[in-house]
Amino acid sequence: MKNQIKSILSLILLILVFACAKQMPPRGGPEDKTPPVIVNISPVPGATNVPTDTKIEITFSERMSSKTVEEAFFISPLPAEDIFFKWRNKKLRIEFSDTLKTNRTYVLTIGTKASDMRNNKLADSYSLAFSTGEKIDDGQISGTVYDPAGAEGTLVCAYQLINDIEPNPEEVFADYYTQCNQQGVYNLMYAAPGRYRLFAINDRDGDRKYTLGLDAVGVAGTEVLLSPENKSVSDICFQMSVEDTVLLFLKSAYSIDRSKIDIRFNEAVKKFNNDQPENYFRITAESDSSEFLEIINCYLDSRDLSVVHLITEDQSEIPYNIRVFNLFDRNGLGLDTTYDSIVFDGSAMPDTIKPSIVFQSLSDSTSDIKPDSAFQVIFSEAMNKISFENNFVFTNQNNDTIAGNFQWKNPTDVAFIPDSILSYKTGYQITIPVDSIKDSFGNSLKDSILSIYFETLSEDTLTSISGNIADEDTNGIGKIFLYAASNQNKYARIIDKPGSYLFDKIFPGIYTIYAFRDADSNGVYSYGKVQPYVPSERFVFYSDSIKVRSKWSSDGNDIILKSQNQINQYKN
């Protein structure tokens, strides 16, 4: 009985203890998203006459991820090949295997990839300078790195040019490094007077050198001169790209039927003159190289530029050898002659497969179509052009025929361009009796009729952006390419020389403006080259986003292409 009473009393006491226990909120709190900062550093910024056996000590505001800090640590010039990092809580001590050089300015940088234990990164690169002599170099280079994949942490590397020796970023370390912040902005400080060549490298393998084909790289459009009279240079900007190192090569060849062969390359092929197939392709019987198979026509696939279609005379059911030559990829690299030919089996099977429409730019029952739109169709194979053009009917809501012309990109890809801009807020009908349209071998389309009704948009839907683009370089050459891009739309304009520009009849939205001067006249932006060194073409991103509404134009968006001829002036 006594044991039962004791048990009951113990249970009551336990209940009272838990009932009286203080109710505490759950542990934790808001997630830590505060970037770490450097709260103390030795030597102090700007110190002079620093002893050559000095050790560097850094204290952070919180515990850091040691690996990220060590990978983001830069010192220029490099005192020794071996650097030793010693951590104690928030403090880092850095030692070198050799002493510092006398009368030298050293620049220490902690880049934006350095993060704390919760992966919060430094908001900006931290740089300081100290000197083992009596003065500190104060040259400064700044700008922006543009990379669609994100430029945060990208290295900006400055190589001092001495005695016209060409620096090779694949082999040597830069004289100065810094890293971009989240917006791609960089500020390289405390550089010595001299002439510099700059590159931006997203150092994927962490070796602080450029790895061809792996690292994306940006090449500055000019070399930079720092002098006592010109200590600061701004707007040295980069666009990133991965240099193509792979040559074009032939992957496969396949007979579709007795008159058609498809060949595939490892990458997109640069446009070539398809009126002269003999300049690019040669097909012979494998058993007799003097027996040629005539190629009547050839063209790139509109949707897959790594595929070339060949139309030939009737083949035999024998093995053929096809050899390709004089072709290039879109970056201008030629063929790998080790893989420029291949053997395939010919076919005697006739073409009996009906063609089909694989793409059309307008769908039935659509509205808000721009009046200057063209109608594009891509077929699955080469078509009889006359049968399409003679049976294509384009009318307005009053049944009036819309006149225009046909532009054939290749035998499968055609666009109808009206002679005049269509009317606003009007209905239109496109009718194609597809059973009357045939491919090159007489097969009609699969369906019986294609009918597309659409309406153009109201005139007050569209808007415009205009301004003036100037070039500080009076000796600048090449046409100027301008682009206006929003999340939904992209428009291009080309002007022959600096002056006014206009993006008219565009959809409302928030746009960014980008322009470059095509100095080499190749029609695309040239990123430059690391080895042999070729500077990039000059470009500019308009500093502000432009918001345009329907009916309300945005004018006065003036753009300046910066001059980059400072080194030429220096040499003269």
pLDDT at 448: 67
Q: Mean of the pLDDT values across residues 542-557?
A: 93
d(CA 373, CA 225): 49
- Topology agreement, domain 250-345 and domain 462-571: yes
pLDDT of 543: 86
Query: How confident is the model over 438-452, as pLDDT tens digits?
Result: 999 999 988 767 899
**Measured between alpha carbons, how far is 405 from 403 in angstroms, rounded to an integer?**
7
> Tens digit of pLDDT for each residue in 256-289?
999 999 999 999 999 999 999 999 999 999 999 9
Mean pLDDT for 167-184 is: 93
CA distances (Å), origin 419, targets 370, 396, 402, 405, 408: 15, 14, 8, 7, 16
What is the rounded average pLDDT of the residues 332-357? Answer: 95
Nearest-angstrom CA–CA distance, 13 and 19: 10
pLDDT at 5: 44
Question: Which class is domain 250-345?
Answer: mainly beta
Q: What is the mean pLDDT of the chain?
A: 91
pTM of this structure: 0.81
pLDDT on residue 130: 95
What proportion of the chain, given as a percentage, has pLDDT over 70?
A: 93
Contact yes or no for 133/105 (Cβ under 8 A): yes
CATH T-level assignment (fold) for domain 462-571? Immunoglobulin-like (2.60.40)
Give the CATH number of domain 357-460.
2.60.40.3710
**Domain map (residue ranges) of the chain:** 38-239, 250-345, 357-460, 462-571
pLDDT in tens, 477-526: 999 999 999 999 999 999 999 999 999 999 999 999 999 999 999 999 99
Q: Which long-range contacts (CB under 8 A, 24 or more apart) does 329-332 make?
A: 329/244, 329/247, 329/248, 329/265, 329/267, 329/268, 329/269, 329/270, 330/267, 330/268, 330/269, 330/270, 330/305, 331/244, 332/270
DSSP state of 472: S
pLDDT digits (tens, 9 = 90+) for 42-69: 999 999 999 999 999 999 999 999 999 9
Structural domain 38-239, CATH architecture? Sandwich (2.60)
Residue 552 has pLDDT above 80, yes or no: yes
Q: What is the pLDDT of residue 2?
A: 47
* Residue 79: predicted pLDDT: 87
Tracing tokens 């759950």 back to the chain, one arrives at 26
Q: What percent of the chain has pLDDT over 90?
A: 82
